[in-house]
Amino acid sequence: MSTVIQGARPYGEGDPVDVLIEDGVITAIGTVEVPEDAEVIDAGGQVLLPGFVDLHTHLREPGREDTETIATGSAAAALGGYTAVFAMANTDPVADNAVVVDHVWRRGQEAGLVDVHPVGAVTVGLKGEKLAELGTMANSQARVTVFSDDGLCVADPLLMRRALEYSTALDVVIAQHAEEPRLTVGAQAHEGERAARLGYTGWPAAAEESIVARDCLLALHANARLHVCHVSTSGTADVLRWAKDRGTKVSAEVTPHHLLLTDERLATYDPVNKVNPPLRTESDAEKLRAALADGTIDCVATDHAPHAVQDKDTEWTAARPGMLGLQTALSIVTETMVRTGLLDWRGVARVMSERPAEIGNLAGQGRPIAVGEPANLTLVDPDAEWTVRGVELASIAANTPYEGMRLPGVVTATLLRGRTTARDGKIC
């Protein structure tokens, strides 16, 4: 099976070239003669990037298939330009054992649109009391490389220390949802003037920053790898800078929504804007964009969090936190990072593909666009725009905070090991 992408600009650089893909591998780049029976994708000078990798996705299966399944989430991922996603462990049952992670992995294989890598829970049942069997999950068929209790913080410092120590022997990474729970009891929104005016209990920046500082020290002393989920405050970026300067093996992600949206959205009273960690201030968003550009924050991760209408279309305090992200991530990164000149397309490849693949230890993803490399590729039209409509997204849930917004940057094709999984907004 062969495919030719005609007239693409790898990393948005140089003159357009043709890319020949045979049996899932890039076999020629330049001027390519089209083999008989080859699928031809006319790129018309569009930007060719390595397939995106999302370290942080909620696919909701098993347990909440009314909001997303591994198949629908995989479709959303492929349409968003992703070739690999990590599915968070806060399912029902929790992915805290080899049976559940292998089930998720197999369902991803069956869907066949994107590599679905299950994240294993750090603690049994996400209860924060007892370590889950990390080794069994790491050695299972799913080969779990990332562990997280995301949605909840591993708050007990002794447990976190043990998890970090244990992770070094397995060569896996612990991804922390940094939230000191004693500082966020009843918290509804970023602690500040806007939440105060509406009478919402505040979610202080220190609840995140104190855990990140603690965990960086634990990781440094254990010589372990720590990954910080969804960084939301400028203070966390400062802590990360400090920790990285001292040689801590810490990586971090920021979500598209924390790059673009702020707690100004509270004025809408619309719980589609409720998320954990909460939307912060414009100054935080600006410093997060700078931290992503300078590498303090390693990558973008969506925290794609589908929720049912009855869990979102309700009063703010009763609504669940979370928002869809897979199909809008590239556009938000284009808007906040590329159009502002903070990142070029090579930079986008770094933060949306290469770094997340390295952090998640995926051998075949985030690779250079070069002969001999697996053809996990995403084609992007940087000049096109589209209007977001929640009901038109591939997810079962429709809780997008970008409803009705016109956004730049359109994914026109996604290839998983040479097979076209999405093209012109349709699943193949």
Catalytic sites, residue numbers = 303
| Token pair of 264 as six digits | 């100004």
Rounded to a whole number of angstroms, the minimum distance from the CB of residue 303 to ligand DOR is 6
Residues 6+ apart with CB under 8 A from 267: 194
CB atoms within 10 A of CB 310: 11
Using the structure block, give the residue that is written with the tokens 């890319």. 19
DSSP states of 287-355: HHHHHHHTTSS-EE---B----HHHHSS-GGGSPP-B--TTTHHHHHIIIIITTTS--HHHHHIIIIIH
- Residue closer to ligand DOR by CB (options 151, 202) is 151
CA end-to-end span of the chain, whole Å?
15
In 3-state terms, what secondary structure has residue 197?
A: helix
Kindly state the smallest distance separating residue 225's Cβ from ligand DOR, in Å. Answer: 20
Distance, in Å, from the CA atom of 236 to the CA atom of 213, rounded to the nearest integer, reads 8
* Least CB distance to ligand DOR at residue 75 (A): 19
- Residue closest to ligand DOR when measured from CB atoms: 322
**What tokens does 298 get?**
């390693």
301: left (phi over 0), alpha (psi -120 to 50) or beta: beta
Q: Quote the tokens at residue 258.
A: 């924390």
DSSP H helices in 319-373: 329-333, 345-349, 355-359
Residue with tokens 């447990």: 159
Q: Give the nearest distance from C-beta 132 to ligand DOR in angstroms.
A: 18
Q: Which is nearer to ligand DOR, 14 or 186 (CB)?
A: 186
Structure token pair of residue 390: 């929640």
Distance CA(74)–CA(60), nearest Å, equals 12
Q: Rank residues 253 and 381 by Cβ distance to ligand DOR and give the closer one.
A: 253
Q: How far is the CB of 250 from ligand DOR (least distance, A)?
A: 19
Chain residues binding ligand DOR by CB under 6 A are 58, 90, 150-151, 177, 275-276, 303, 305, 320-322
CB of 422 within 8 A of CB of 76?
no
Residue 166 C-beta: closest distance to ligand DOR, Å: 23
- Tell how many helices (H) and how many strands (E) occur in the chain: 13, 19
Alpha-carbon dihedral angle through residues 336, 333, 271, 151, given to the nearest 10 degrees: -130
Name the minimum Å distance from CB 108 to ligand DOR.
Answer: 18
Q: At a CB cut-off of 8 Å and minimum separation 6, what does 268 contact?
A: none
Cα three-residue angle 279-285-289, rounded to 5 degrees:
135
Distance CA 145, CA 138 (A): 6
Give the residue ranges of the annotated binding site for substrate: 58-60, 90, 276, 307, 321-322
Residues placed in the known binding site: 56, 58-60, 90, 150, 177, 230, 276, 303, 307, 321-322
Q: Which is nearer to ligand DOR, 43 or 305 (CB)?
A: 305
What would you report as the CA-atom Rg of the chain, rounded to the nearest whole angstrom?
Answer: 20
For the record, the structure tokens of 344 come out as 């070029």
Which residues does the annotation place in the binding site for Zn(2+)?
Answer: 56, 58, 150, 177, 230, 303
